[in-house]
Each structure stands twice: as C-alpha cells, then as structure tokens.
Structure 1
Amino acid sequence: MRKRVAVIGGGIAGLAAAVRLRDRAPQDTQIIVYEGSGALGGKLRTGELAGGMVERGAESFLTGAPDGTESAAVRLARRVGLGAELVHPGGIPAALALHGRLEPVPAGTLMGVPGDLGLLGAAARPAVGADPDEGRPLLGPGADVAVGALVRARYGDEVADHLVDPMLGGVYAGRADELSLATTMPALADAARKQHTLSGAVRAAQAAAVRVPGRPIFSTVAGGLSRLVAAAADASGAEFRLGLPVRELSRAGRGWRLVSGPVPAPQVDEVDAVVLAVPARPAARLLATSVPAAADPVGVLDYASVALVALALPPDTVLPELSGFLVPPTEGTLVKAATFVTRKWGHLRRDGGPVIVRASLGRAGEQDRLQRDDADLIAVAHTELGRLLGTALPPPVATWLQRWGGGLPQYAPGHLDRVAAARAALPPGLALAGAAFDGVGIPACVAGGETAAEDVWKSLEDR
C-alpha cells in the first residue's frame, strides 16, 4: 500500500529529511512538506545588495566532520548536484574587538578556550595559578556544565569574557555562562571527563579531531545557499504546502492526523509517519496532546533574537586585512560580530564594486535593544562598526536589515538529556529534527533531518 509521510517544517533539516525519505522509500511514496511561512529554507536565505549577493542568514557550513569525513552539508550538496559549486573563504584571519583595538584571535583555542595559556597574548590574561591538576577529571561521567562556569573556574574571568563569550556569541548569540558545554562543545566535554586540567582537555579534544590536509574549514554554494534549498526541494520530489502551519497533531490508528490551515477552513490529512522539524515551542505545542512526555522537555528551550545588517560601502573604503571580527559583550555594543564579506569570499568581489560588510546585532536577553525601526538599527550598526574599527565608515550606498526573532536556540546545561528524554517518549513513526535538538550548524541540521527520516522509515518497514 502506498505510504504517506509528512515533514512538518521546510527548513534545511526538514528538506534533508525529505531528500533522505525519497532515497529510502519506494517511488510511489508521497512525501508532504508543510511550511508555515511562505518560503522554504528557514534561516538559509540569500539576498541581493547593490547588485551583488549577500546571505540574509547562515553564510557557510563546516566542510568536514569530526571523524575526518565530509560534513553532512557537503554530502547533501553533492547529492543534489551542487558538489562542483562549493566555494571556500580565503585564508584571512579574524580578530577580536577589545578596548578600542582589533586584537588577533589567539592560536590554539577551541571555540575561544585556550589549550596553551602561554599563547594568549594581549587578548586576555589567565588568573593567577590557573588550571591546577587536582587529581581527578574535570567532569564526572555524563555530567554537563555551563561553558562559562568551567572556564571561569579554571582560567578566570578575562578568558571567559574576552575569548569564549565572543566566540560562542558569534555562533549562538548566547552567553558562555548559560550555554551547555556538552551541546556546544561535545568533544571538549568528552575530554573533560577524562582530563584533569582544562588545557589538557582542550589539547586532547583537538588531537582527537581528524583533520584532512588541504581541506578548507568552511564552504558555501556559489550563488548563495538558497540554491541548496531549491536543489534539495527539487531532489525530494515532495509536495510542498506553504503558508499552511500545522495546528494539530494526533494519533489516527497506526498513523497520524494533521490539521493545518486557518481555523474557519481547516485542512485535514492522515499520514503514516511524521518528521517534526520545527522550533522547540511549536514542536511542544504539537506534541502536548499526543505525546505530552515529549512536549515537556522540548518546550523549555529558550531562544535569542538577532538582526543582520548589510552595508554596501564605496569601492575605495579601506578595511583592515581581516575576514571580520568578534565583539565581547564587555564592549557594550549592540554589534556582536562583523564579516568583511567581499574580502572573506573572493567569489563575491567585483572590480569597481562596493565593499560589503555584514554585521550581526543582538545577544540572548537583549531583545529590547533590537526594538527599533530598521533605519535606526542600520544607523546604530554603521556607527558602532566605525567605532570598533577605530575610524568612521563612509555613508553606505545601499543597505538592508534582516530580523530573526527568536532565531537561535540557547542550549542550557542538560539539553542533551532533555532531548534524549523527549525522543525516548516518541512512539514509532514520529521523529524530531532541527536546530532545537541537534545543533545550530547546517551540518548538524542536515544530519538530524536524515536520521529522523531513517527512523520513521524503519518504523514503517518494521510495521
């Protein structure tokens, strides 16, 4: 009998799930992707500025996986015919904005956590007597802790504030004191359960990572990540229902009943299996009636709001020889990171074209600071960038602003245990995927979507 599988959520995790289902299931299997907004891709969205391309969300993904293989994002790009379209940034360093200066990012760090305190330079000073060997592992078996708590205890406040906070803020828009070590840096957490010092744990985690000589760290798709979205959607062969948020999810015999669309004119579908690839709170609402034991641990996840500002500056604008910089919260700016787009990505440079700078604004808990109109936020970004660079920037020739309200999950300590509890409570034929569960990076979302697809399809085969 022909099977019907629903994927709720049309971000990259949901699309990866749909592609994997198409690869695993018989050709007559109906795959339906429900996306509440009017567009696929979630936070993968390519925009235009001054005749060029600038990402309005994620700009790249890791090329390799920790085990030395290609990342799930690269594999998906190859699967959908974009393997030859992958491009990489130039080998230009980034900096930290500290006390009115741009300082080099110290060598030998893992997401800002140093493995050798002697290499810190001017960016931060370790506490006196930092990181003693106390004769036992830093963490107990299965234990989790906030990144900031561990770094402050071993290295002191300066290292946490000036190195680790801006690194984590650049990825998660969160604070080190509130983010789970096991979720954001799983390799370091594993090493900390064996090593007696934090520097030893960092070095052990770095040694365990398999590096392939000559492989770039980051990749993106020439022409923008929206091409990856479109290619994945096409490869999935799915039916897409855009602008129809799913409002109800309930059991229907051995399958599932979905209610979508407006309340006065509901659309009801019955399917054999469901991949739920939406943010935590919508997922919790859908699970509340049918699987409350899964809804409770999912619904506690908090999110940070951010905004992205892109500035097209005159072609003769002079910028430092950097790919960009990160800003610690101690600087007090709304700007938390900046990318010199046309310097970092050689394929985006145009002779006589504008200099493109993209700034990220807002951290967890700073939602109120983003409550300004677009023109005001763009002006703040322009002014703060000049102050952080030490010289006023010329007026831009074009700008845009992209808001991502509640866009980035904040993984508090214990997140992995909560996700495991939620997944253990799910009945066969229902799986969770996406950044709320598996991590914010594109490879993590792709891998999570593919695993969810495998799980629900196996349940149908077993049935």
Structure 2
Amino acid sequence: MHVIVIGGGIAGLAAAHRLLRDGAAVTLLEASPRLGGKLYAGDIAGAAAVDLGAEAMLARRPEGVDLARAVGLGDALEPPATAGASIWTRGALRPMPRGHVMGVPADPAALGGVVSPDGLARIAEDETLPRTEVGEDVAVGAYVAERLGREVVDRLVEPLLGGVYAGDAYRLSMRAAVPQLYEAARAERSLLAGVRALQERQAAAGAAASGPVFMGIDGGIGRLPPATADACRAAGGDLRTGTSVRELRRARSGEAGTWHVGTDAGGGAGETFAADAVILAVPAPAAARLLAAEAPAASAELAAVEYASMALVTLAFRRADLDGTPPGSGFLVPPVDGRTIKASTFSANKWAWSGAQDPELFVLRTSVGRYGEEEQLRRDDGELVAASRHDLEAALGLSAKPVDALVSRWDDGLPQYPVGHLDRVARVRRDLAALPGMAVCGAAYDGVGIPACIASAWRAAEATLARGAEAGAGQ
C-alpha cells in the first residue's frame, strides 16, 4: 500500500512514522524548505539553543512522549525545572492560583489578589444560582461569566486559553477547547461543585501523582521533527521538502492507484504521484483548496476555519547586566490589562538544559498576538522587540539591553475552535468517509497541542491502513 502524506509538520511526520511502522510505503510532501511546522529549534547569541515555536508538550497525554521515545529521544525528555508561574495583573506579578481547571477554581479563596473582593463575592453566587444549561456546546467565556462573573474570565480564563489558542474566550467552544470543564458543567448545577468533583475523581484515579504535567526535550522540542524524519527515512520513507501540491484528484479509469497528486518543485513543474491513499496533514485553508474538486462540502467547511497569528520574541541577556534574575517559569498577561505581550517564559529557569548551556546568558521569550489583534503583528521586528522590552521593564524592572533578539512570526498559526467546531469536524470526516483512501489530521481537528496533533495523525494512519486492508481483502 502506497500512501502520500501531504504536510510535513509534526502531524504529517507522525502519520508517516505510524504508516511505515505498519508496513506501508510512504511519500511525504512538504511545500516549505524544512520539516516540523511550528516545532522549530534555532539558536541565539551565537550558540544558545532555543525553541522558536512550541516549547513543551502535555505529558499527561502519552502520544508526544511515546513518539519521542520511539524516535530515540527518550533519554532527552525533561520536565520543567520550575513550575512557578505568575499572572501580571492589577500592576503586580501575582502567583498563579492553584487548584483550577483552565482558570475556574475549586476554591475561590485561591483567587485573592487576582480577583477583586467584589469579584470574589460574585463567584460565591454560583452556589445558589439555578443551573445554566450548556446544551450541545457553549462558549467558555460566556458560560463561566454567567456562573462566576466576568472577572474570572478576564483575569484567568482569557490568559490561560490565550496561551494555548491565542483565542477569545468568549468565542471558543468549551466542548472542544476545555472538554473537562464542559463535562463538569453538565454534571453539576454549580460550576464550582463540578470542578471540585472533577478534581476529586482525578485524585482518586491517581492523576495527581502521575508525573509532570508538561515535558520538554533537552535542546528543544524542535528536535522532535528531525528525529522523527530520520526514523521515517531509516524505515524507507521518501520525505521531500520544497514540494508543493497543486492538484489532488481521484484516479481515472485505467490509471494506477486511487489518487493522483500533482506537485510543483523548485518553482517549476514537478511530478505526479499515484497512491492508494492520501492523508492531508496541512492547515485547513490548504486542505480546503486541495479538496475543492473532489469533496466540495468538506472543502467549504474547512475554508470557514479561522486562524490566529502570533509572534514570539526571544531575548538573550548577560546575567552580569541583570539586577538578579526573575524567579519562576514566567507569567501570563490578561488582555484586560492592555499590555502588548500576552505572556513571557523564562526559558533559562524553566528548562535546565537552557540555563546550563551558557551560564553567562539568561534567555527568555515573550509572545504577542491574539485572535482579533492582528494590528500588533503589523509592527516590524524592531518594534516588537522594543514593545516586549517595555512590558518586561514594567513587569520585572528589567531594563538591561539584550545581547541578541530573535522574532519568530507564526502567521495564521493557531486554528480557532468556536462554538460548533466539533460538529464541523464531524461533518468534514463524514463527507470524506465517502472517498476511498482519504483522511485528514492536524491541529484544525482534535486539539492544537503536540499530543493531540500526534493522536490525530495516528487516527488517520490507522484508519487508512484499515481501509486498505479491507479493500485488499475484497479483491
């Protein structure tokens, strides 16, 4: 069975790896000059390794850790050296409250300082309010605001969701973005009671003692794509970069295979590949374009998926120039506070490998850009660096000049999951089920995190192999 995987981000690579493991022949086609998508490692200040995209993966889901181990990076897996995050709000850095589910607390008293006394009194009303029905789906921000008041959303839920989706909590689907909270809301009249019950179940199941929540890789998460690519090539996979797909069509009578994939390479006409199956591991707009002729309904659904853009500003300081280094792993910034940056990660503190590679350097990064705030990203790189430094000085008193700065822009980097997103995904998959040997995977479908993207890829690969086996048995 020959499968063409279109897209060389972590989802495409994970799909190729699973297909090759189970005996399929694989050709992977990536339009850009490199593999890995938003998992990308570089260096700063001459030699210090840094992640210029995603820097961590959820460890409570096994897929990311399992793939890292499968491609030889098991010994490089590393939990954060510190988890002491803060929220920069109301003019001060305040410890991140404990015992919450995406900002919704089990104990409102933990939010003191982040939420005002009036806000705490509003939260307490949740215990006496009548049930708020969630139905088939509801916006996270709208539901939490109705139960607990807007302060919880604006000061906690928004910055936490913004760090994952760069999205607007008042638009994001609770069922898609925070399924645990959705189930808690359905189970109890009181949202606080639902969160407490959820945490009690997790504790009883041993989830609280099952290891670190997040995991990184020594040298950066950006090492995962090239390691996966190397494993794919060692298994016989044909991985091509700089090869864009211009046409995807079903084979006509008398032609080889089930699908024909026409490509452009190096700015000129490329090859046309015949394949038994195709997995689309590209962003929704690209998938919509490729599916327009063969699956117009799915194409229209995918064309409607919106994306948020963001930028990461990585700064390297000489420790000797700092008046002490900031403690903890970093901080989040609520949009309501009107700052440019939405978060800062102290990489040198958070990752032991980062702090150890050049003891004279202190590396941190900021992130800029949320859904609906694209005007921030129209600034040039120098302006984004200056804006980040301005906010860092206000938050930390950090006035030193960096010895190096890098700006990584991720235009349309994060798909948005508005209310009804899961129903959209179901319609896409239902439409594509009618096409032999066609599957989709990636961040646009089942979650934007690394483990979710890998799980989506494995699902697509396994479905493709199963359909191929069924077709072979019927011949």
Q: 1:446 aligns with which of 426, 448, 454?
A: 454
Contact 1:288-1:295 within 8 A present in 2 as well: yes
Q: 1:126 aligns with which of 92, 100, 120?
A: 120
Q: Please list the CA deviations of residues 374-415 of structure 1 after superposition, one character each: whole Å capped at 9, or x if unmatched.
A: 1121111111111122x1420001111100011111110110
Is residue 312 from structure 1 mapped to residue 305 from structure 2 by the alignment?
A: no
Is residue 222 from structure 1 mapped to residue 215 from structure 2 by the alignment?
A: no
Contact 1:428-1:456 within 8 A present in 2 as well: no
Q: 2:388 aligns with which of 375, 381, 395?
A: 381
Contact 1:138-1:195 within 8 A present in 2 as well: no
Is residue 93 from structure 1 mapped to residue 84 from structure 2 by the alignment?
A: yes
Structure 1: give runs of 5+ residues left out of the alignment: 66-70
Could you list the runs of 4 or more consecutive aligned residues of structure 1 that deviate by over 4 angstroms after TM superposition?
A: 133-137
Contact 2:50-2:219 within 8 A present in 1 as well: no
User: Partner residue of 1:68?
Assistant: none
Q: Please list the CA deviations of residues 24-73 of structure 1 after superposition, one character each: whole Å capped at 9, or x if unmatched.
A: 12xxx4201111101000000011012211100000101122xxxxx100
SS at match of 2:94: strand
Instruction: Note the C-alpha offset of 1:266.
Output: 4.4
Contact 1:138-1:194 within 8 A present in 2 as well: no
Contact 2:53-2:222 within 8 A present in 1 as well: no
Instruction: Note the C-alpha offset of 1:205.
Output: 3.1
User: Partner residue of 1:6?
Assistant: 4
What does 1:60-459 align with in structure 2 at a 5 Å threshold?
A: 60-65=56-61, 71-124=62-115, 125-126=119-120, 128=122, 130-133=125-128, 136=131, 138-140=133-135, 143-209=136-202, 210=205, 211=207, 213=209, 215-237=211-233, 238-253=237-252, 255-261=258-264, 265-316=269-320, 317=322, 318-350=324-356, 352-389=359-396, 391-426=397-432, 427-459=435-467
Q: Work out the CA distance in 1 between the residues paired with 2:277 and 2:196.
A: 44
Q: Work out the CA distance in 1 between the residues paired with 2:84 and 2:361.
A: 21
Q: Work out the CA distance in 1 between the residues paired with 2:463 and 2:6.
A: 15
Instruction: Note the C-alpha offset of 1:333.
Output: 1.5
* Structure with the higher helix share, 1 or 2: 2
Alignment-mate amino acid for residue 216 of structure 1: P
Instruction: Note the C-alpha offset of 1:100.
Output: 1.6
Aligned residues: 450
Q: Work out the CA distance in 2 between the residues paired with 1:297 and 1:161.
A: 30
Alignment-mate amino acid for residue 309 of structure 1: V
Q: Please list the CA deviations of residues 285-332 of structure 1 after superposition, one character each: whole Å capped at 9, or x if unmatched.
A: 111110112112222111111000111112132233211000000121
Alignment-mate amino acid for residue 103 of structure 1: R
Range with bigger deviation, 193-202 or 299-308: 193-202
SS at match of 1:54: strand
SS at match of 1:343: helix
What does 1:9-88 align with in structure 2 at a 5 Å threshold?
A: 9-25=7-23, 29-50=24-45, 51-65=47-61, 71-88=62-79
SS at match of 2:319: coil
Contact 2:341-2:368 within 8 A present in 1 as well: yes
SS at match of 1:265: strand
Instruction: Note the C-alpha offset of 1:126.
Output: 3.3
Q: Work out the CA distance in 2 between the residues paired with 1:266 and 1:223.
A: 36
Q: Work out the CA distance in 2 between the residues paired with 1:126 and 1:247.
A: 56
SS at match of 2:126: coil
Q: Please list the CA deviations of residues 101-150 of structure 1 after superposition, one character each: whole Å capped at 9, or x if unmatched.
A: 0011111111111122222111012353521455657423xx11111001
Alignment-mate amino acid for residue 31 of structure 2: G
Alignment-mate amino acid for residue 9 of structure 1: G
Q: TM-score, normalised by structure 1?
A: 0.93
Q: Work out the CA distance in 2 between the residues paired with 1:133 and 1:12.
A: 46
SS at match of 2:293: helix
Contact 2:11-2:453 within 8 A present in 1 as well: yes
Range with bigger deviation, 290-299 or 304-313: 290-299
SS at match of 1:404: strand
Q: Work out the CA distance in 2 between the residues paired with 1:136 and 1:123.
A: 26
Alignment-mate amino acid for residue 53 of structure 1: A
Instruction: Note the C-alpha offset of 1:78.
Output: 1.1
> Compared with structure 1, are the counterparts of its residues 137 and 363 closer, same or farther at alpha carbon in structure 2 (3 Å cutoff)?
closer
Contact 1:4-1:272 within 8 A present in 2 as well: yes
Instruction: Note the C-alpha offset of 1:428.
Output: 3.3
Instruction: Note the C-alpha offset of 1:268.
Output: 1.4
Q: Work out the CA distance in 1 between the residues paired with 2:28 and 2:284.
A: 18
Alignment-mate amino acid for residue 448 of structure 1: S
Structure 2: give runs of 5+ residues left out of the alignment: none
> How much identity, in percent, do the aligned residues show?
45
Alignment-mate amino acid for residue 312 of structure 2: L
Contact 1:152-1:159 within 8 A present in 2 as well: yes
Alignment-mate amino acid for residue 289 of structure 1: A
Q: Work out the CA distance in 1 between the residues paired with 2:25 and 2:422.
A: 32
Contact 1:117-1:126 within 8 A present in 2 as well: yes
Tell me how large the CA RMSD over aligned residues is: 1.7
> Compared with structure 1, are the counterparts of its residues 338 and 85 closer, same or farther at alpha carbon in structure 2 (3 Å cutoff)?
same
Range with bigger deviation, 232-241 or 325-334: 232-241
Q: Work out the CA distance in 2 between the residues paired with 1:106 and 1:269.
A: 54
